[in-house]
């Protein structure tokens, strides 16, 4: 797979001090659509999805490291635990997180999967339970939303206000030691959103997102 060089990552009509967040994920559809729903002045979010079927954390990190970036850009690894919670799988994830840290890449891990983050837009952390794997989470999300297709997310189901609420819920849920694999439920996408909000010009940050930083 040929990775996009940095000139294709950053839009041409930008200011020199615009903030760019490059997010590599193992999902081909949901994260890309999700982040495209939101626009913040002077902030760009470029999602690098899986397109070749190689979705292991090592391959996701490799794609991210291959993309040119400026020193002030932020790179984020977005990965799921799901079936990697035991044996060699968890060892590989731990190793990947260690390499990401060494390379100056931030990490946002979801346990079991990104869909838990989407669910936190609609349910509090106290209502979570019995999620043996991502399939169960997707089933609950499907019930809550009246349907769920990761290829066709609806912007109407994820408002700015719900993002702030999800961040607060995920923050309370996140008891993980930095750079470790979460043992319990986790949706560390809140860490990415907090960095995005902090990187925006205060007067241009949408009011609903200002709560992310509190």
pLDDT at 89: 74
Report whether pLDDT(165) > 70. yes
Q: How confident is the model at residue 7, as a pLDDT?
A: 45
pLDDT of residue 179: 80
Mean pLDDT of 3-25: 66
Q: Which of 91, 55, 79, 86 is nearest to 186 (CA)?
A: 79
Average pLDDT over the chain reads 88
Residue 199's pLDDT band, with cuts at 50, 70 and 90, is: confident
Mean pLDDT of 84-101: 83
* pLDDT category of residue 202 using cuts at 50, 70 and 90: confident
pLDDT of residue 85: 59
pLDDT band at 1 (very low <50, low <70, confident <90, very high): very low
Confidence of residue 15 (pLDDT cuts 50, 70, 90): low
Q: Determine the pLDDT at residue 204.
A: 86
91-112 CB burial, b ≥16 within 10 A, e <16:
eebeebbebbeeeebbbbbbbb
Q: Which residue did the predictor score with more confidence, 132 or 43?
A: 43
Tens digits of per-residue pLDDT, 105-139?
999 999 999 999 999 999 999 999 888 899 999 99
pLDDT at 209: 93
Q: How confident is the model at residue 29 (pLDDT cuts 50, 70, 90)?
A: very high
Q: Are 183 and 129 in contact (CB under 8 A)?
A: no
Phi, psi for residue 177 in degrees, rounded to 5: -65, 135
pLDDT tens digits along 56-88:
899 999 999 999 999 899 999 999 998 665 566
pLDDT above 60 for 21: yes
> Cβ-count burial of 144 within 10 angstroms (0-12 exposed, 13-18 middle, 19+ buried)?
middle
């Amino acid at each position: 797979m040929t990775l996009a060089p940095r000139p294709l990552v950053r839009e041409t009509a930008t200011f020199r001090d615009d903030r760019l967040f490059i997010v590599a994920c193992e999902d081909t559809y949901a994260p890309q659509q999700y982040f495209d729903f939101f626009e913040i002045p002077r902030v760009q979010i470029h999602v690098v999805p899986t397109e070749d079927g190689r979705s292991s954390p090592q391959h996701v990190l490799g794609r991210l490291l291959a993309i040119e970036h400026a020193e002030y850009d932020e790179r984020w690894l977005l990965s799921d635990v799901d079936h990697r919670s035991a044996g060699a799988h968890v060892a590989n994830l731990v190793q990947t997180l260690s390499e990401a840290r060494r390379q100056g890449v931030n990490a946002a891990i979801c346990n079991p999967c990104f869909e838990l983050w989407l669910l936190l837009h609609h349910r509090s952390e106290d209502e979570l339970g019995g999620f043996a794997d991502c399939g169960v989470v997707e089933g609950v999300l499907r019930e809550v939303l009246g349907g769920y297709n990761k290829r066709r997310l609806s912007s109407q189901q994820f408002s700015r206000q719900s993002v702030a609420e999800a961040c607060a819920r995920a923050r309370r849920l996140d008891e993980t030691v930095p750079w470790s694999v979460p043992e319990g439920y986790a949706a560390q996408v809140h860490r990415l959103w907090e960095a995005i909000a902090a990187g925006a010009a205060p007067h241009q940050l949408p009011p609903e997102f200002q709560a992310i930083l509190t």
